[in-house]
Amino acid sequence: MLHARDLSVEIDGTAILTAVDFTAKPGAVTAIVGPNGSGKTTLLRALTGEIAAQGTCTLDGIAIGPRNAAALAARRGVLPQASRLAFPFTVEEVVRMGQLAGRYADRPGIVARALDRVGLRHMAGRIHQDLSGGEQQRAQLARVLAQIWEPTGRDGANWLFLDEPVASLDIGQQLTVMRLARDFAARGGGVVAVMHDLNLTAMFADAVCVLQAGRIAATGPPRQVLTSDILSRVYDCDLRVSTPPPDAVPYLLPQASGAATDAGAAVRRFEPS
pLDDT, tens digit (0-9, with 9 covering 90-100), for 171-206: 999 999 999 999 999 999 999 999 999 999 999 999
Beta-strand ranges (E) seen in the chain are 2-11, 14-24, 29-33, 54-59, 62-63, 76-79, 152-153, 156-157, 159-163, 190-194, 207-212, 215-220, 241-242, 251-252
Q: What are phi and psi of 167, to 5 degrees?
A: -60, 135
Q: Any idea of the CA torsion for 88, 160, 41, 253, to the nearest 10 degrees?
A: 110
The burial class, CB within 10 Å (0-12 / 13-18 / 19+), for 105 is middle
| Model pTM score | 0.89
Specify which residues 59 forms β-bridges with: 2, 62
Q: Give the C-alpha distances (Å, rounded to integers) separating 87 from 5, 91, 93.
A: 39, 12, 11
Contact call for residues 53 and 17 (beta carbons, < 8 A): yes
pLDDT, tens digit (0-9, with 9 covering 90-100), for 41-91: 999 999 999 999 999 999 999 999 888 988 898 899 999 988 788 789 999
End-to-end CA distance of the chain: 63
pLDDT, tens digit (0-9, with 9 covering 90-100), for 211-250: 999 999 999 999 999 999 999 999 999 888 988 777 778 8
| Eight-state DSSP code of residue 238 | -
Q: What are phi and psi of 61, to 5 degrees?
A: 85, -10
Contact call for residues 160 and 150 (beta carbons, < 8 A): no
| Eight-state DSSP code of residue 64 | P
CATH of domain 2-75+148-221: 3.40.50.300
